[in-house]
Structure 1
Amino acid sequence: MEVQYNLRNPAVKRLMKEAQELRDPTEQYHAQPLEDNLFEWHFTVRGPPDSDFDGGVYHGRIVLPPEYPMKPPSIILLTPNGRFEVGKKICLSISGHHPETWQPSWSIRTALLAIIGFMPTKGEGAIGSLDYTPDERKALAKKSQDFNCEICATCMKTALLACSESSIPSLADVEAKELAKQINFKAETHTSSNAATESAAAAAPPAPATIINENQDSQVSQQPASAGTSLETGMIIGDDTHVGNQEDTQSVPPNTTSLSPRQRRAQQQQQQQTRRPTSSYSQVRQPTNTNQIGSTILIVVLTLALAALIFRRIYMANEYRFDYEL
């Protein structure tokens, strides 16, 4: 039964286009989707020359998500090779383990060339990686030519074209290689190194963060914190950098239950020094408020004087009228 796909789906349109472009095998790679599943491809790549994988032909699967090419594929090797675990999703910067490094401009052709470039690199404990000896990898490279895929019935001996020195790479291959150069081949190495760094940082003892007042009188408080890590109180930490603003510092009261009276006084002095910008700001604003009050009083006085003048004029007019009538 033939599987029907929505031809308006961007992923389906993209995969059908790539399947048409990759229908013919080359000397280095070949990939095609399964007959009953457009989102699962089987590929074959030749081991890079001048490496432990020279002469090997390796087969694997590419499982693509429905959001392809916006999301990366998952890559699984099926041929024993000594570099990647068999039947397990490998961790590369072009695979589903690193969606943050994937670019929609990359394609399955780019991924195939990147896999070839990844093979000579060191695994260093990354997910799905192996670090076999050169002799073991060379032995597996010879055995790889006898591998046959039971799912797609691909024979490694006939999967790729024979190598020839006079072959000219196609324009698509040149473009794909340029894109593959943008891929960080050491992404999985960085991942394992970062994990080791985080583990070492977690195991390291915390460094005390000491706050000292202006007069260098005494230590106010000591709280464990690693350099560069923010504290709840927003005080000074190991490398004398301030974390948080003054409002956060004032809103969280420090723990004073274990401080001596002398340390409490020093702490109060520190808090008063912190509040000085606010008091100076009030002093700067004070003349403006005084001027406003003086202006208001002057307006009131002038209004009263004007009212008294009007009242006097009215009174004198009435008195003159009364004398005239008499």
Structure 2
Amino acid sequence: MEGQYNLRNPAVKRLMKEAQELKDPTEQYHAQPLEDNLFEWHFTVRGPPDSDFDGGVYHGRIVLPPEYPMKPPSIILLTPNGRFEVGKKICLSISGHHPETWQPSWSIRTALLAIIGFMPTKGEGAIGSLDYTPDERKALAKKSQDFNCENCGSRMRTALLPSTASSIPSLADVEAKELAKQISFKAETSSANTAAAETSSAPNLVKNANQETQVAEQLPIAQINAEIEDMRETDGDDARTGTQESSQSRPNTTSLSPRQRRTQQQRRAQQQQQARRPVSPSYTQVRRPANTNQIGSTVLIVILTLALAALIFRRIYMSHEYRFDYEL
């Protein structure tokens, strides 16, 4: 198999190392890749003691992505067990359904121990989960020992070492169990529930969007009204004080009246808001006087029109006068 893959590839290097570590079966689990595919593993796990799965031996597949260990594997059970659906990718925080919770420090050993730990938990409608009765699970646990895998040739009765109460877990198993404790059982959620939550929140999102649109439409009008009041107050203050300077251009703010200081603060706040986001044309732009050049052009056109009319009238008058003299 080593000649079929690039040994410099991180995924191949990692899987080769894990295959060497897991080549010998233990009392709890065993996993090895297929002879012709390094990225598909078959595993066997023993049901956890003191549970509905006690005495059961369960077989399954692990399909690993080319980006492993940066991306999680997909786990599929092949033995009927009453907890996970057969032949379907199960939804766990260590599987491909939740890449956001996967950690590269986890391994296939960690996944096997996590599967054993997940079996006694409730399915709660998660993808690939089942909630059989305890009697049904116990019956399936007895039948699981007669299961034989046609793809890898594993026999459940001889796939694992005999279970003994005096067995001492290895250091690797202890480390894997510590990593398995970090796996969140809350990550096992149903996509149907997620879709329902998104559907239920859709009206609220639309409502919030409509409210934001209304506020955005009303904001320029409010700014225009505020600026109108500010300009009125400023004009009144300037008329009384006889000054034409703007309240913003005065360096000494101590000489300003309370109304002028309030106007100056309001204008500064409005300028900061306008700098943060674009708004529609303000009142100062709407109230902008006409262009002086346009007014001058209009006056010039009127004068030229009157001059041309006077010239035409004079020529007509002169022609009539010349004709009258000629007739005489």
TM-score under structure 2 length normalisation: 0.65
Q: Does 1:81 align with 2:60?
A: no
The answer for the alignment partner of 1:132 in structure 2 is: 132
2:73 alignment partner AA: P
Query: What do the CA deviations read for 1:189-215 (whole angstroms, capped 9, x no partner)?
Result: 47665444334445xx769xxxxxxxx
Structure 2: distance between partners of 1:36 and 1:116: 27
2:212 to 222, 233, 247: 233
Give the structure 2 partner of residue 91 of structure 1: 91
Aligned to 2:160: 160
Q: Is the 8 Å Cα contact of residues 124 and 192 (structure 1) preserved in structure 2? A: no
| Bigger relative contact order (CA 8 A; separation at least 6) | 2
Q: CA deviation at 1:121?
A: 1.6
Over 3 Å counting, the alpha-carbon distance change for 1:193 and 1:233 in structure 2 is closer
Aligned length: 240
With over 3 angstroms needed to count, the CA separation of the structure-2 counterparts of 1:99 and 1:278, relative to structure 1, is farther
Task: Compute the RMSD of aligned alpha carbons.
Answer: 3.1
- Larger Cα-atom Rg: 2
Query: Are 1:286 and 2:249 matched, yes or no?
Result: yes
Q: Are 1:7 and 2:7 matched, yes or no?
A: yes
In structure 2, relative to structure 1, the CA distance for the partners of 1:42 and 1:234 (3 Å cut) is same
Q: Give how far 1:175 is off.
A: 0.3
Please give the alpha-carbon distance, in whole angstroms, between the structure 1 residues aligned to 2:157 and 2:228: 82
Shift of 1:64: 0.6
Q: State the partner residue of 1:32.
A: 32
TM-superposed deviation, 1:269: 6.8
**Percent same amino acid among aligned pairs?**
77
SS class of match (2:59): strand
> Structure 1: how far apart are the matches of 2:32 and 2:229?
70
The aligned residue for residue 121 of structure 1 is 121
Query: Do the aligned residues in 2 keep the contact of 1:72 with 1:102 (CA within 8 Å)?
Result: yes
C-alpha distance 284-101 of structure 1, shift in aligned 2 (>3 A): farther
Corresponding residue of 2:292: none
- CA shift at 1:230, angstroms? 4.0
1:145-294 to 2 correspondences below 5 Å? 145-189=145-189, 193-202=193-202, 225=207, 229-231=208-210, 233-234=212-213, 249=216, 253=217, 270-272=222-224, 285-287=248-250
After TM superposition, give the deviation of residue 274 of structure 1 in Å. Answer: 6.8
Q: Which residue of 2 aligns with 1:262?
A: none
1:107 and 2:107 aligned: yes
Distance 1:273 1:157, change over 3 A: farther
Which amino acid counterpart does residue 6 of structure 1 have in structure 2?
Answer: N
CA contact (8 A) 1:122 1:189 kept: no
- 1:58: which partner in 2? 58
1:270 Cα shift?
Answer: 4.0
Q: CA deviation at 1:91?
A: 1.1
Gaps of 5+ in 2: 234-244, 253-328
Task: Compute the displacement of 1:77 (Å).
Answer: 0.5
Post-superposition offset of 1:3:
5.3
* Partner Cα separation in structure 2 for residue 4 and residue 284 of structure 1: 81
CA-CA distance at 1:89 after TM superposition: 1.1
Amino acid of the structure 2 residue aligned with 1:83 = R
Q: Distance in 1 between matches of 2:71 and 2:188?
A: 18
Going from structure 1 to structure 2, the CA distance change for 1:192 and 1:183 (only over 3 Å counts) comes to farther
Q: Deviation digits for residues 23-63 of structure 1, max 9, x if unmatched?
A: 11111110001111111100000111121111111000001
Matched letter for residue 103 of structure 2? Q
The structure with the largest helix share of the pair is 2
1:85–1:129 Cα contact (<8 Å) kept:
yes
The amino acid of 2:44's aligned partner reads T
SS in 2 for 1:173: helix
Secondary structure at the residue paired with 1:19? helix
Distance 2:166 2:8 in 1: 41
Distance across 1 between alignment mates of 2:104 and 2:31: 19
CA 1:278–1:187 in structure 2 vs 1: closer, same or farther (change >3 Å)? Answer: farther
**Residues in 2 aligned to 1:53 and 1:42: alpha-carbon distance in whole angstroms:** 20
User: Residues of 2 paired with 1:83 and 1:15: CA distance?
Assistant: 28
Any stretches of 5+ residues in structure 1 without a counterpart?
Answer: 208-223, 237-248, 255-266, 290-326
Which residue type is aligned with residue 101 of structure 1?
T
